[in-house]
A and B are shown apart, each in its own frame.
Chain A
Amino acid sequence: MKYVFALVAGLFALAGASQADGNSSPSEIDALKARVTELEQKLEKLEQQESAPQTESPPETGGRYLALPDISLIVQAKGRATTDKIDPDKQKIQLAEAELGIQGYVYPNVRADAFFAGSPAEHEPFHVHEAYLSYLGLAKGLNFVVGQKFVPFGRVNQLHNHSWLYARQPLVLSNLVAPESLAGQGINLTYLIPTRPGLFAQLDLGSWANGSEGEESNFPPNIMAGPGADLTDRFTTARFWMGMPTSENGEFELGGSWAGGRSEEDPNTGLTNYVHLRGLDLTYRYFGPQTSRLLLRAEHLWRKGTTDSDGAVARGYYLFANYRWNRYFDAGLLYDWSQFPQDTSRHESAMSLVLTRQFSEQYYVRLQVTRGSRPDDGSYTEVRLQWCWGVGPHTHNLE
């Protein structure tokens, strides 16, 4: 501003001088006019400089100025109104989960991710959800992970529940895999197979221990839902995942997964359950105008355990369609069908309508209306309402 004042004062002084000297010659007047024009131009330049934007470049490291990790918190509250008589949480709004994420690099090309979660609704204290180290680009296309992680099995097992497009896990996944996601402690190798441009082909091989425990619930009469994969001791996983564009805006994905291992010995029966899981998944996504997106997904799973009641293969599947018509709204339809490992002659199924209002990148509200049926217990209707919000930078691997 000081330049501006100085120049304005100069202009006044010049103007005053020219007025005071009434006998100035025309050439002097012209010279003074030229001087005024010159000063005006200088003034304009200085004003432009004052209002100029910052010109420094962002730091090349791109992250923060301090070597702080990315810290985030994601919280979910869920309410449920249901006609399901065996549901202990009906007609309640509860704090379903809080997830704390700490992520950052510990060495060039070595990334650390840790997620801690707790559920007041289920009286579950904060515990390690995932904590793993990723060695990125160990060799061309090869990544290596060590730690505790949601294992690469099926299309959605690695998704955290705040990234789901529905408020309740498809029945087949909770009955045959895990109530939320199948996690294990161990190692995993991911290899991106070199293919023709645009064709994605990835192979995952993992060796794990201490897999997540399943969740069993008793449905009258004498049917036990779950218990998930029951791979509570050592197990191995393999997944092959392909993706190929069908057009500039469409992509088709195909995945095949396998997991095999055993449960810990049952203290009551002394038996160990040897379990094999297989899965096949298909996904199609089409990106339309104005951020619209159509997603179609199907996943079929088979599970066989040596201590299952009849030794038969239990199977199940879900079909899911989701349409996002702009960045704020999406709607989905989910149909799921699943047998029970303990009694494969019986099954349960459900149809859900899901509506999501995305307020910002880190805040959404979801409504899910489900009509389900179970053997002998008749049908039930439930309405779920989910609020999900987060603060801080929170990222996941390719999902």
Chain B
Amino acid sequence: MKRSPFGFLIIAALTAVWLVTCVLQAQAAVQIVAATPELAEIARRVGGDKVSVYSIAKPNQDYHTIEPRPSDVSRIARADLVVRVGMDLDLWLDALINASGNRSVRRGAPGYVDASIGIARLEVPKEPITGASGDIHIYGNPHYFYDPMNAKIIARNVLEGLSRVSPHDKALFEANYRRFADEIDRRTEEWQKQLAAYKGRPVVTYHKSAVYFLRRFGLKDFGQLEPKPGIPPSPAHVSGLIRRMKESNVTAMAIESIYPRRFPDLIARELGIKYVVVPYSVGSLGTKTYFDLIDAWVSKIKEALR
């Protein structure tokens, strides 16, 4: 009994032909695929109406453990520019780029942007790291995008990438970048005024995502619910944290919106405090833009510090 594969192949080929007919006409817009909603938002600001932007991670997904989807591959295959967080946060992006067979967005190609280039990195490990260190990133803490001044560096990297893939629109991208950077400067001044009264005050978070933000606004990172990055809270660690918070009279706790509330609720009950939930992504908790994201962080942390 030998059965020919042609039946299957004919069906596959017909389906393929049908799919190819679905191809849209060549688009004028530069296709950008960003790893996260924050990078997508910033890329949209710099590219303006000359770009079409798609984010692989969706709001409220943990950026460390994204489950790539097949449709993401097709987006990257058509992309002119890929913008990644870098610093080993979005290692899942490499499998997608490989599967896409799109050489122009591979590492080192003109359409590849590592948004972390030029960032003043914090918490770069100075000692050898092992599995016991938790999910430590060898290039340092990768949550740099919560510092608004770093958004300017991200935007600058996107600008350089866009200028490479679409040089005839360079002047427009530069103007957009300048507008975004000025807006960041203006708003950062306002945000700093809002938090000025709380300089030096300690804040507790769930994961080490806030270190860049806290440093920018002169606040102190008191500790995390996770005993080590990526390691879930243990009762022993949480009771130790409660004790330390009591001893140091720490009352501000900000929980990133993707994390469970069981232990934050427990700490709040034990200490008689109210914690705040801060948006993990642009798109979380009703935020629509990067400015909304930082606005929300500033107002929520101010609320926690009151």
Contacts and interface: CB of A to CB of B under 8 A. Distances in A.
B289 interface: no
Given A291-B65, A361-B135, A60 B120 contact: no
Contact of B23 (A195, A287, A291): A195
B75 interface: yes
A197 B102 contact: no
Given A141-B100, A361-B135, A256 B71 contact: no
A141 B1 contact: no
A66 to B, nearest CB: 13
A285 B71 contact: no
A4 interface: no
A397 B97 CA distance: 10
Contact of B74 (A140, A195, A311, A362): A195
Contact of A57 (B24, B31, B65, B116): B116
Interface string B66-101: 011111111101100000001100010011101111
Contacts of A241: 70
Contacts of B124: 54
A122 B252 CA distance: 55
Nearest to B130: A391
Q: How large is the interface on A (under 10, 10 to 19, 20 to 34, 35 or more residues)?
A: 35 or more
Interface stretch (B5-13, B179-187, B197-205): B5-13
Given A195-B19, A240-B15, A258-B5, A397 B65 contact: no
Interface in A125-145: 134, 136-143
B117 A57 contact: yes
A289 B78 contact: no
Contacts of B121: 53-56, 58
A306 B95 contact: no
Interface size bracket, B side: 35 or more
A58 B107 CA distance: 13
A238 B8 contact: yes
27 contacts: A53-B122, A55-B120, A57-B117, A58-B87, A58-B139, A60-B108, A137-B106, A140-B77, A141-B100, A192-B99, A194-B23, A199-B71, A202-B70, A253-B70, A256-B8, A285-B67, A290-B259, A291-B60, A293-B67, A304-B1, A306-B1, A327-B62, A327-B258, A360-B230, A361-B65, A395-B94, A397-B95
Interface of A: 52-58, 60-62, 109, 111, 134, 136-143, 190, 192-203, 236, 238, 240-245, 248-249, 251, 253, 256, 258, 260, 274, 276, 278, 285, 287, 289-291, 293, 304, 306, 311, 326-328, 359-363, 391, 393, 395-398
